[in-house]
Amino acid sequence: MRHLKLFILLGFVTLITACNSEKPIAAASDRPAMSHRMDNMKLTASTLQKKYYSNLPSASGLEIAQGFYYVLGDDTPYLYQLDAQFNVMQKYALFDTSSFVNGRIPKATKPDLESMTYFKYGRDEMLLLMGSGASKARNKGYLVNLSENVAVKELDLTRFYTFLKQVLKIETEGVLNLEGLAMDNVYTYLMQRPLATGVNVLFRFDTNAFKDFILTGKDIPAVAVYHFNFPGLGNRIAGFSGAYALDGKLFFTASVEDTPNALDDGEVLGSFIGVIDLRSLPYATDPANPLQVPVVQLKNVDGSFYTGKAESLVVKKMDADGKYSVIVVSDDDKGGSELLEVELAVEEPLQQ
C-alpha cells in the first residue's frame, strides 16, 4: 500500500510539472527546423500613402470595429473614430477633459493609454484600452462598450500590473512599459517594451479567463512568458509598440527611441513591422536565448526610411499570396499623429 501511495504521488508531481512547463516536448533535433523556418520568413513592406493629423495628439493605439477605425492617444482624453478613408468622424471623451486645455495632458498626470483591442462579450462589442503601467497614474484602463452607445468604464489595473512586475522581477517604478495588446479567440497577448538594450517580452493569457478577469473581477489568469530579440538602430534596440493577431500570426510594430526610461520621450531613430508565427512560441521561453523573428524597417512613400514612432497597427488579409494591408499609426511627440497605409508581403519558406 505504501508503494502504491508513493507511485500515485510521483505521478501527480510529474503531471503538475508537465502542465506548468512551456518547453516543447518535441525532441531537441526538431528545434533547429522551427528556428530555420522563422529565420527564413521574408518580409517586404511598401508604404502606399501617409496622412497627418494635427488635431489628434500622440496616436498610440489603433483598432477596427463595426466598419470604423478607432484611435487612442497617450496624452489625450478622447477616443477618435475614423471612417474607411481615415477621416476623423467623431471623438468620445474617456475621462475628464479639463486638463486638455493646451492640447495635451501633462506628462505627470496622463494615464498613458498605449494599447487597445476589440472583442465580443456575449452580445456586446467592446474595446479595451490599457495604460502602460510605468507609474501609478498609468495603472488605469478603460472599457468602451460600442453596443451601449460608447459607454465608458474606468478600470483600476494596479493589482494586475503588480502581478506582471512580480513575474518580471521588477522592483522600481518606470520599468514596466506595456505597449501592445491583441486578442484572438484562444489567447490574449500583452507586450512589454524593454529599456535601452533589454529583451522584448510577450505575456500570453487564456482569452476567456482574461475577459472574465477584466469584466467581472475574477482571479488574474495564469500567464506564459516569451522573450524576443529585435534588431536596433544606433546603440538602441527596437521595442514592441503595438500588436494585431491574424492568421495564426502576431503582427507587431516596434520602434527605436533614444530614451533611458519609460517616462521620458527621446529621439526616434526609426520603426519596424514584424511577424511572430504563434507556433514558434515554445522556442521563446528562455530569457537568456530570446527568439529572433523577422522584421522590416518602415519607409516613406518615396523609399526613404521612416523616422516616425510607429505605435500600433491593424492588419487585413489582401490575397492568398501572403500580402496584407497594414494600417499603422504613429506619434510625432509634438502633439500630432500620422497614419501610414502599408502593403506587407510575407513570404514563408516551404515546409520540410
Give the least confident one: 20-24, 273-277, 320-324, 330-334.
Answer: 20-24
Of 322, 340, 316, 297, residue with least CA distance to 47: 340
Residue 350, pLDDT > 70, answer: no
Of 151, 127, 130, 128, residue with least CA distance to 140: 130
- pLDDT at residue 19, rounded to an integer: 39
**For 43-50, what is the mean pLDDT?**
96
Q: Is residue 26 part of a domain?
A: no
Task: Dump pLDDT digits (tens) for 110-131.
Answer: 889 999 999 999 999 999 999 9
Q: Is residue 155 part of a domain?
A: yes
Q: Is residue 126 part of a domain?
A: yes
In order, the DSSP letters of 142-161 are EEEEGGGTSEEEEEE-HHHH
| 247 conformational bin, left if phi > 0, alpha if psi -120 to 50, beta if neither | left
Tell me the CATH number at 276: 2.120.10
CA angle 239, 240, 246 (to 5 degrees): 150
Percentage of the residues of the chain whose pLDDT score is greater than 90 = 68
What is the 3-state composition of the chain as percent helix, strand, coil, each rounded to the nearest 5?
20, 45, 35
Q: Is residue 103 part of a domain?
A: yes
- pLDDT at residue 10, rounded to an integer: 38
Sign of the dihedral defined by the CA atoms of residues 245, 251, 256, 260, in that order: positive
Cβ atoms of 238 and 255 closer than 8 Å: yes
- pLDDT at residue 261, rounded to an integer: 53
Task: Dump pLDDT digits (tens) for 188-200.
Answer: 999 999 875 679 9
Q: Is residue 235 part of a domain?
A: yes
- pLDDT at residue 13, rounded to an integer: 35
Q: Is residue 316 part of a domain?
A: yes
- Alpha-carbon separation of residue 271 from 36, 97, 340 (angstroms): 25, 31, 12
Q: How many domains does the chain have?
A: 1
Q: Which three cell numbers stand for residue 255?
A: 520602434
Residue 17, pLDDT > 90, answer: no
Q: What three-state secondary structure class fits 96?
A: coil
Task: Dump pLDDT digits (tens) for 64-93.
Answer: 999 999 999 988 999 999 999 999 999 999
Q: Is residue 9 part of a domain?
A: no
DSSP state of 306: P
Q: Is residue 22 part of a domain?
A: no
| N- to C-terminal Cα separation, the chain | 50
**Domain that includes residue 341, residue range:** 31-347
- pLDDT at residue 335, rounded to an integer: 84
CA 9 remoteness from chain centre = 41
Residue 23 φ/ψ, nearest 5 degrees:
-75, 145
Task: Dump pLDDT digits (tens) for 156-196.
Answer: 999 999 999 999 998 888 789 999 999 999 999 999 998 75
